[in-house]
Amino acid sequence: MATPRTDHAHAQFRLRITRGDDIAVGPGKVDLLEAIAATGSITAAAKRLSMSYRRAWLLVDTMNRCFRAPVVAAEAGGTRGGGAALTPLGAEVVRRYRLVETLAAKAAAKELAALAFLLRTEGSDP
């Protein structure tokens, strides 16, 4: 039997759902959707995640094109400066993605721990 590691190696997987060549949703995009829901703004969400507005807008645009309907609805600027919100589909995408992450992590916990054990320790020779 293998002995436990003490250097806190951690193996994880990152779930991505693709549509053709595009990544429809993945961990970064779900983080962005959650930040938009929390801030009501693509600009504020981008700042919260330390990304450019352009990058955030391109990610939202990709998601909106990949799903059957938009996941983010944006209001044009004006006296209030515009804003953005998740659509009901966007909220469902976040909920289902996080559920799949949780279920997959539980199902794969033993194998992920075994993979972590196989990782090189910090400071060890290559």
Tell whether the model's pLDDT for residue 112 goes beyond 70: yes
The pLDDT tens digits for 57-81 are 999 999 999 999 999 998 776 555 6
- Model pLDDT, residue 13: 75
Q: Is 123 left (phi over 0), alpha (psi -120 to 50) or beta?
A: left
Tell whether the model's pLDDT for residue 53 goes beyond 90: yes
How sure is the predictor about 5, in pLDDT bands with cuts at 50, 70 and 90? very low
Tally the C-alpha atoms within 13 A of residue 111's C-alpha that lie toward its C-beta. 6
Q: Are 39 and 48 in contact (CB under 8 A)?
A: yes
Tell whether the model's pLDDT for residue 6 goes beyond 70: no
This prediction's pTM: 0.80
Please report the domains of the chain, with CATH numbers, ordered by start residue: 20-117 (1.10.10.10)
Cα three-residue angle 72-16-10, rounded to 5 degrees: 120
Percent of the chain with pLDDT over 90: 64
Strand partners, 18: 23
Q: Is 122 left (phi over 0), alpha (psi -120 to 50) or beta?
A: beta
Q: Nearest Cα to 108, choosing from 7, 12, 25?
A: 12
